């Protein structure tokens, strides 16, 4: 049961990381003059992340680091959720 608690803590950390990166991407797009909606942020976050990726790719030739943080954080949260479910059995 203790390992489940560790995985739950890791899920929460990854979720906070993901939300933080999403907000930074939102601010970055806003500063670049892109139309973004805070109200629809939860639904449009993937679209905004890919917009950020394309914008930074055209500016620097590479996708911005925030895009990778966004992808890695949500995938780690999913991985830890699966591991928590498995260890709870």
pLDDT in tens, 20-33: 999 999 999 999 99
Domain total in the chain: 1
> Residue 28: which domain range?
2-88
pTM: 0.90
Q: Give the residue-averaged pLDDT of 30-55.
A: 95
Q: Which DSSP state fits 35?
A: -
Question: What count of residues does the chain have?
Answer: 89
Q: What's the rounded Cα separation, in Å, for the pair 41 and 22?
A: 8
In this predicted structure, what is the pLDDT of residue 78?
Answer: 97
Can you list the pairs that 12-15 forms with residues at least 24 positions away whose Cβ atoms lie under 8 Å? 14/73, 14/74, 14/76, 14/77, 14/80, 15/73, 15/77
Residue 23: the pLDDT is 97
In whole angstroms, give the CA distance from residue 72 to residue 89: 26
């Amino acid at each position: 049961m203790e390992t489940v608690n560790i995985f739950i803590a890791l899920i929460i950390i990854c979720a906070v990381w993901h939300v933080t990166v999403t907000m930074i991407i939102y601010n970055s797009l806003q500063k670049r003059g892109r139309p973004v909606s805070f109200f629809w942020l939860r639904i449009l976050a993937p679209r905004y992340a890919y917009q950020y990726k394309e914008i930074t790719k055209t500016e620097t030739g590479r996708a911005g680091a925030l895009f990778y943080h966004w992808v890695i954080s949500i995938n780690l949260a999913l991985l830890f959720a699966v591991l928590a479910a498995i260890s709870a059995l």
